[in-house]
Amino acid sequence: MTFSCILASLVLAFATAHSVLAAATTASNRHVKCPTGQVTSNAACCALFPMVDKIQQDLFDGGECGEEAHSALRLSFHDAIGFSIHGGKGGGADGSILVFNSTELQFHANGGIDDITARQFPVFQELNLTAGDFVHLAAAVGTANCPGAPRLKYMFGRPPPKGPAHDLTVPEPTDSVTSILTRFADAGFSPKEAIALLSSHTIAAADVVDPTIPGTPFDSTVGTFDTQVFLEVLLKGSLFPGNGSQPGEVLSPLHGELRLQSDFALSRDPRTACFWQSMVNNQKSMMNQFHDAMAKMQVLGQDTSRLIDCSDVVPVPKPFNQNIKFPASFSKKDLQLTCKQIPFPNLATVRGPAPTIAPVPGS
C-alpha cells in the first residue's frame, strides 16, 4: 500500500465514522419520535405532549384564544418580572406566583390574577411539572391559540420556586413612563423590549380597572394576535367605556374599549413612541420582537444551561397575514402621533358606523 493510499483509506475511515456519529446525533437530538407519535428534538420533551393536550382541554376550552389564554400570558409576566438583575426581588420565571399565591396575590398589581391562578392550580397539581415549567408552558400554549401569535420558545427544567417574589415588581397602569422603563431595566429589559412585550395587550382585556365593565378589551380584535392595539392606542380618545374615569385609565376612542394610561403614555413618550409606531401593521417584526423578548422573560432568573429546549411541544399558531385597518369611522386624521422620524403606514378603514366592542366572554 502506498503512503497516499493509506492516507486515503484513513480519510475514508474517519469520514465514515464521522458521518455515522453525525447520524446518531441527529437521531437522538434532532428527531426523536415519541411513543405518542410526535417528533421532537429531545427525548425529554416527549412527556410534555400529553400535558399540552391536557392544558388545552382543561384550561383553554379545547384550544381557544379566550379569557384563560389571555390571563395565562399575563400570569407569565407577573410571575417572571419578580426579579432584578441586581438581586433581591425574587426568582423570576419560577412559578412562585402559583405556589406562594397567598403572598403574591396580595400585591396591588396582581388584582384579578386570582381568577387564573385558581383555574390553573388543579391542572398544575395533576401534572408532573414544577410550577415554573407549568406557568410558562401554559402561557406559550395559550398564546399559540391566538391567530397571528409567534410560536413561543419553551425551555423545560426549572427547579421549584424558593420563595415569593417581592412586592412592587409588577408595573401598574398609573406608573410614569420613567418608572415603568426603570423597572423593566432593573429586570434586564431595554425600552424596545418593553414595547415588544406589550404586544401582548393585543389579546388583552381588563376586569378590575373598572370593575363595572369586566372583560373590556384594549383593542377591537382581542381574539387575534395582530398589531391592532398599537394602532388603536394612537387614536384620539373621547370617552370612558364604563363608570367614568378610573385610576390607570384614560380616554378611549371606542365604546366597549378600555385604554390604559401606561399604554397611552408609552405610545407618545419620546423614548418609546417610534418603537410603538413601528409596530403598526408590521406583523412579522412584531412577532419576531415579541418572540425574542418573551424567550428572555420566560427564563428570567433561571440557569439556562440546565434547561432543555422543548419549543416543538408548543402548537403552531394560525397565521394572520392581512393588513390591519382603522376601526369603522376612523382614519389618519384621528391619529395623535409624536414620532416624526418614520412615516405612518397607509391603512384602509373598516366600512360602516363606529363599532361598540364586545366584552370578552367568561370575564
Ligand X SMILES: *[C@@H]1O[C@H](CO)[C@@H](O)[C@H](O)[C@H]1NC(C)=O
Q: Which grid cell is 311?
A: 419549543
Residues that bind ligand HEM (CB under 6 A): 67, 70-71, 73-74, 77, 112, 171-173, 180, 197-198, 200-201, 203-209, 248, 260, 262
Is 92 annotated to bind a ligand? Reply is: yes
Q: Which residues pair with 252 in a beta bridge?
A: 239
Residue 127, binding choice from ligand X, ligand HEM, none, Cβ under 5 to 8 Å by partner class: none
Is there binding between residue 176 and ligand X (CB under 6 A)?
A: no
Q: Which stretch binds ligand X (CB under 6 A): 73-81, 117-125, 163-171, 218-226?
A: 117-125
- Alpha-carbon distances of 199 from 143, 148, 149, 226, 261, rounded to whole Å: 12, 11, 10, 8, 16
Partner from ligand X, ligand HEM, none contacting 117, C-beta within 5 to 8 A by type? ligand X
Is 108 annotated in a binding site? The answer is no
Of 150 and 214, the one with the shorter C-beta distance to ligand X is 214
- Tell me whether residue 101 or residue 298 sits nearer to ligand X (CB atom): 101
Q: At what angle do helices 114-126 and 67-80 cross, to 10 degrees?
A: 90
DSSP 316: P
142 binds, among ligand X, ligand HEM, none (CB under 5 to 8 A by kind): none
70, 78, 255, 291: which is the annotated catalytic residue?
A: 78
Distance in Å, CB of 136 to ligand X, minimum: 15
Q: How far is the CB of 157 from ligand X (least distance, A)?
A: 7
Q: Give the closest residue to 288 by CA, choosing from 196, 223, 225, 195.
A: 196
Task: Check if the beta carbon of residue 217 is closer than 8 Å to that of residue 257.
Answer: yes
Whether 108 is catalytic: no
| Alpha helices (H) in 163-301, listed in sequence order | 177-186, 191-197, 228-232, 261-268, 273-278, 283-297
Is 201 labelled as part of a ligand binding site? yes
Nearer to ligand X, 20 or 118 (CB): 118
CA 50 to chain centre: 22
φ/ψ of residue 47, rounded to 5 = -60, -20
Choose among ligand X, ligand HEM, none what residue 71 binds, the Cβ cut-off being 5 to 8 Å by kind.
ligand HEM
Residue 226 assigned to a binding site: yes
- Tabulate helix, strand, coil % of the chain (nearest 5): 45, 5, 50
Can you give 66-79 as a three-state secondary structure string? Answer: CHHHHHHHHHHHHH
User: Which residue sits closest to ligand X, CB atoms considered?
Assistant: 117
Candidates 212, 323, 336, 356: give the one binding ligand X (CB under 6 A). Answer: 212
Q: Please, are residues 224 and 324 in contact by the beta-carbon 8 Å criterion?
A: no
Contact 349, 331 (CB under 8 A): yes
Asked if residue 215 belongs to a known ligand binding site, the reply is no
Residue from 27, 28, 114, 323 in contact with ligand X (CB under 6 A): 114
> At 356, is the secondary structure helix, strand, or coil?
strand
Judge whether 221 is annotated as a binding position.
yes
Contact 262, 170 (CB under 8 A): no
Answer yes or no: is 202 a known binding residue.
yes
Minimum CB–partner distance for residue 249 and ligand X (Å): 11
> Considering only residues 213-252, where is the footprint of ligand X by CB under 6 A?
243-244
β partners of residue 216: 206
Residues annotated as catalytic (active site), given as ranges: 78
Q: Which residues are annotated as a binding site for Ca(2+)?
A: 79, 92, 94, 96, 202, 219, 221, 226
Binding site for ligand X (CB under 6 A): 101, 114, 117-118, 121, 128, 212, 243-244
